[in-house]
Structure 1
């Protein structure tokens, strides 16, 4: 189905729901409010719900546990649950759901919700709250602040969610739920939905369930869109098709991977990716040239991107870590930006012209330049394993070595710092997916996210789930390994043991105690967190030979059980890109020198 037809169908469904809201639903079939919400989530192909029980959500959790499709995961804390919902949404391509209880639970999840907002991930934060009568009378109940301000938590949520819905009567429940879910889908950001204890079992009409919810792709204005298409075509023609395409995070966030790949195939333009856009396009594609990060980009890539007469960026997010500390050298006069809800051509901005519908039409316009664009040489994006005499496992050797370990379809999760930067120089196989948290950068995010990603991966049968996390980061959120074991998930976890917070050491305080941590006995960890009935495997590797032997062994396949590999590294070693970025970050912070 074309994007325009999808948008028309979405608009038709939206209007139907608005009419039903105005007329009231008169369907004879009845359903409880709680089950209505679960039915909507099932329609959106949501099969996992993360969170923790609390007495204000227990009645709803009865419905979750009895639901034929929804699985209650049960996390170790609310922060990790928010991370897991984030990871699930990224891989599954739908909404991630976290359920918490009033006050203490919802506030514990706030950092994870804020991260999803920052990185544009659709997460529903469902909060069980006191009864409607208690919300009016505001008694001195537990989990409250003791001063009657029951709205304090909602005010906090307003800062980190794009929409807040509150179910306060059966008559409005269905429309409030639908509105929240549509906002979450359309805007690709978290929403907050409160569900009072006495509303869970109230019965309402099920009539609205017959009209499906879908991502609201607002139709581009035809005249403006035609003008934009003509303008871009003219710019490409004037440049003699000397064009490069730069892919970024919003290609995945707003579901335009297919449209983008078709555009690249039909036009033949060379394509590069920003760090947050890695694996948004197939890295084995013959016209893919690697990662562009401003001034810290390898010279051959930097030259190719910056010398092009026209740079078309798709879904750009120009954050500090995503742009080499804002060092993009892309003049506005040569830049065309395609975004989810606007297009910018040089100095002109066209609001309401989104890339979902624009890209297929732009493909038709620009495919005439294929014979010219396809002749522009692209330096192959290949793996380069350095030859080192030492047996110590260095960052410069480890990451290229992992390239031969990855398989098509792998879901790869990297932690803030060493792993996020180390993976950038590694070509990843076809159909693999990398998720990372480059903008928000909350240390420990990757562990909870890996739980959610592994569950989504299991549902979609993509491949293995592989997590790279530092020893310092893992200590923050290590509890989420327990539900992985309990649920029979089989991720491969590489613990990069470099004795502390390396990204912080690189920025400031290489030898300061505040960047030190306790050294845990990592090989014993899976036994401690498991139930002793689930098979696990743990290894420690200290040399290149040991790691090579592990990768080549038949026993180590990573698909039989959850597996942990502790990789011993020097505490002051870091990937090349991390060192360069950290140096720029340190200068921007204007810290005095300190070792």
Structure 2
């Protein structure tokens, strides 16, 4: 075996080590030689229809697999993807963005090249990287062969540790340069002594005695709490604490809730689970929370949408907050890794024993209302009933995506089985994200099922007609890759959420009347028994039940699209209440 490998091979093997099994992206003349190495290094190449979609797909892949990757070309390609990367940064999705750039000599001489601003200065080749500094946690330019391998290691490490995107530039003339294979003997998670290895968040463990001391403080607060709450947010999964938080909820018996962004992280079947904490709707127990003497807040992401315009942000003085790299006890910050600290808290509780917290007031619980089935089956579909009623379609292992707008807010009414994963957006809210993200998520689901030899669930997308039109090209990628996806298109004739915010009858909230069920044919689907296509439409509950009860639909393979026709201003009561808060905020 050779003692050296190309720099491109080093990069892709390191990505494999981190858990990446597929690379999304679009070919361009500055990355073509780099792409030559993707498949030989054991990675699957997913050629997307454009770079924005590739970024969304890599984000969806990362949220399921733990890390994703995409490759674009310099300038036009990377700027097309920057919206997706900014979303991954805002919502903490670990994506490695690799950009193929011109030869180093051409850059340093300021050659007037295509895809640049063509001003004839070396600065032309730094401008786009400077933009990426704002939306990535690490940036590396592989121009020095002696440091390039450790730069790759640092970028991937920061991506994993910080759960946010990173940015790597690979000049064309560096792709096939040789680097030592022995570098693989070193863990990426151990920083190098040189400047390139200084991790922003140290991967080293907590100091044991200090961790024990802080854990004892937290256990003391838990034991004396008279009116507690556990509030679970998206950072719980991003920081790898889902298992510990679930155990904390079971062991303490404390009332447990999620934010909209945290929905799906905790088993909704737990007897002490009380849905999404909200000042509106069926799970409104604000008076109980305002009287709490302890709130354990895990992984908070306090956007206006995620906190109902900041009305559900817990009071600092009664909170213990597990952040990404520290814990806040009241106003006092302790620099400890939250996952390890929380595990120590659980160990101390197990060691000393604890009586589960009970009884407590009869708080609202998330459950299906039998009345949603006691309706005229020939009546038209409505949002207030649909989102609860469709919950009976879900199974453990399913990945469910709800697009920004009526689908995302409606999805808050879903009752999820244990073991399901919900992907939504509560910070960036870029419409069209979830269709491309579904392509990445289902591919990650396939890879996980293959590697663990265990049956996987289904990938189910709920998206409005306006959002669907944003990124519809990825239907072709789903078909080409033979991915098994179920898509419910809510056809309500335009941007309903925008109508509800402003301009209900304005033409700018309209969209073209597409023939949505014809899209598989247009995007390349054939009469293929190995990859079947299922399309159907529903306007009534009887029609919807007929579709969802079909074995070929609920248990089948291939691409399955259902068009749901709903009234153009119809929405859930929760949406009306939320938008009422929005207008007050304005």
Residue of structure 2 in register with 1:476 after alignment: 470
Residues of 1 paired with 2:18 and 2:207: CA distance?
28
| SS state at 2:579 partner | helix
Residue of structure 2 in register with 1:487 after alignment: 481
TM-score in terms of structure 2 length: 0.92
Residue 54 of structure 1: CA displacement?
Answer: 0.3
Residue of structure 2 in register with 1:564 after alignment: 561
Q: Tell me the number of residue pairs that the alignment of Structure 1 and Structure 2 aligns.
A: 558
Residues of 2 paired with 1:369 and 1:281: CA distance?
23
Residues of 2 paired with 1:76 and 1:533: CA distance?
23
Of 330, 348, 357, 2:314 maps to 330
Q: Does the CA contact (< 8 Å) of 1:43 and 1:212 recur in 2?
A: no
Residue of structure 1 in register with 2:86 after alignment: 114
Return closer, same or farther for 1:221/1:508 CA change in 2, 3 Å cut-off: farther
Residues of 1 paired with 2:105 and 2:302: CA distance?
47
Q: Does the CA contact (< 8 Å) of 1:508 and 1:586 recur in 2?
A: no
Residue 520 of structure 1: CA displacement?
Answer: 0.4
1:303-314 mapped onto 2 (5 Å cutoff): 303-314=287-298
Of 130, 137, 150, 1:162 maps to 137
Residues of 2 paired with 1:372 and 1:557: CA distance?
39
Of 437, 450, 459, 1:449 maps to 437
Residue of structure 1 in register with 2:572 after alignment: 575
Residue 223 of structure 1: CA displacement?
Answer: 4.9
| SS state at 1:312 partner | strand
Residue of structure 2 in register with 1:18 after alignment: none
Residue of structure 2 in register with 1:353 after alignment: 336
> After the TM superposition, which of the residue ranges 484-493 and 335-344 deviates more from structure 2?
335-344
Residues of 1 paired with 2:29 and 2:60: CA distance?
27
> After the TM superposition, which of the residue ranges 161-170 and 277-286 deviates more from structure 2?
277-286
Residue 378 of structure 1: CA displacement?
Answer: 5.6
Return closer, same or farther for 1:222/1:477 CA change in 2, 3 Å cut-off: same
Q: Does the CA contact (< 8 Å) of 2:259 and 2:306 recur in 1?
A: yes
Return closer, same or farther for 1:508/1:136 CA change in 2, 3 Å cut-off: same
Residue of structure 2 in register with 1:91 after alignment: 64
Residue 328 of structure 1: CA displacement?
Answer: 1.5
1:127-146 mapped onto 2 (5 Å cutoff): 127-146=99-118
Residues of 1 paired with 2:32 and 2:464: CA distance?
36
Residue of structure 2 in register with 1:281 after alignment: 266
Residue of structure 2 in register with 1:172 after alignment: 147
Residue 430 of structure 1: CA displacement?
Answer: 1.3
Q: Does the CA contact (< 8 Å) of 2:252 and 2:354 recur in 1?
A: yes
> After the TM superposition, which of the residue ranges 454-463 and 470-479 deviates more from structure 2?
454-463
Q: Does the CA contact (< 8 Å) of 1:99 and 1:128 recur in 2?
A: yes
Residues of 2 paired with 1:388 and 1:325: CA distance?
34
Residues of 2 paired with 1:416 and 1:558: CA distance?
27
Listed as ranges, the gaps of 5+ residues in structure 1 are 1-26, 590-595
Residues of 1 paired with 2:54 and 2:313: CA distance?
39
Residue of structure 1 in register with 2:245 after alignment: 260
Deviation readout 1:352-402 (Å, 9 max, x if unpaired) = 122111111111334557424143356542112534447010001111111
Residues of 2 paired with 1:329 and 1:46: CA distance?
35
Structure 1 residue 101 corresponds to structure 2 residue 76: no
Residues of 2 paired with 1:503 and 1:59: CA distance?
44
Residue 297 of structure 1: CA displacement?
Answer: 4.9
Of 542, 552, 555, 1:555 maps to 552
Q: Does the CA contact (< 8 Å) of 2:73 and 2:99 recur in 1?
A: yes
Deviation readout 1:282-302 (Å, 9 max, x if unpaired) = 122232111113x22535543
Q: Does the CA contact (< 8 Å) of 1:291 and 1:297 recur in 2?
A: no
Residues of 2 paired with 1:50 and 1:556: CA distance?
28
Residue 187 of structure 1: CA displacement?
Answer: 1.0
Residues of 2 paired with 1:30 and 1:283: CA distance?
51
Deviation readout 1:294-339 (Å, 9 max, x if unpaired) = x225355434434332111111111111111111263322221111
| SS state at 1:285 partner | coil
| SS state at 2:261 partner | helix
Q: Does the CA contact (< 8 Å) of 1:493 and 1:563 recur in 2?
A: yes
TM-score in terms of structure 1 length: 0.90
Residues of 2 paired with 1:538 and 1:129: CA distance?
43
